Amino acid sequence: DKFDYNQPNTRERLAARRRARTHHEPPNPASACVIIASIVAHAAPRGHDERRRGRAPVIHRRKAMPHVVHVLTVPDSLIFLAGQVAFMRARGFRLSVVTSPGADLDAFGAREGIATYGLEMPRKITPAGDLRSVARLARLLRSLRPDLVHGHTPKGGLLAMLAAKAAGVRARVYHMRGL
């Protein structure tokens, strides 16, 4: 869509377009729920699998409750999920949280009534330790079979996205938090 700079109000139209691009809404659990629901719906396989030539078609049935796994590096960052967990559970989502083990993780799981998993993810950059964490997280994700993996903190998000890709999770979301 091109602008004719000889037309009146061109500067105002450009300024309005620039403002619209840079406008950010405050975080809202409802908007996060809607976004995640749409991502899960678009990433879920539908209908028949055409790749199976010569064999009976496989019909994929959608699960009643989408399963979302939140991944954070340390339990202290669980404050980012305050309010969102109860909101999403009330709307039919099944949630799990993966962070490094700690008392805060256990307390959060008991308070919110969701499954929690302690997986060692050191905050320091340690290539060998990070690869071990990715492998363990991928193994956990394969067993949980989530519809969506939601990474939050920088290191937790990186490990979550790599592990989710390795585990074959089709929907992956990263929110930059914790900086």
pLDDT band of 164, cuts 50, 70, 90:
very high
pLDDT for the residue 83? 85
For residue 109, is pLDDT > 80? Answer: yes
pLDDT for the residue 177? 75
102 C-beta neighbours (distance < 10 Å), count? 14
Q: Is the dihedral of CA 167, 118, 129, 178 positive or negative?
A: positive
Q: Is the pTM of this model over 0.85?
A: no
Write out the E strands in 23-175. Answer: 67-71, 94-99, 115-118, 148-151, 171-174
pLDDT tens string 20-59: 655 445 555 566 666 776 776 666 554 444 444 555 544 4
pLDDT tens string 50-93: 444 555 544 455 556 899 999 999 998 898 888 889 899 998 89
pLDDT for the residue 82? 82
For tokens 């954070």, name the residue.
Answer: 72
Alpha carbon distance 56, 40 (integer Å): 26
Q: Which amino acid is at 123?
A: R
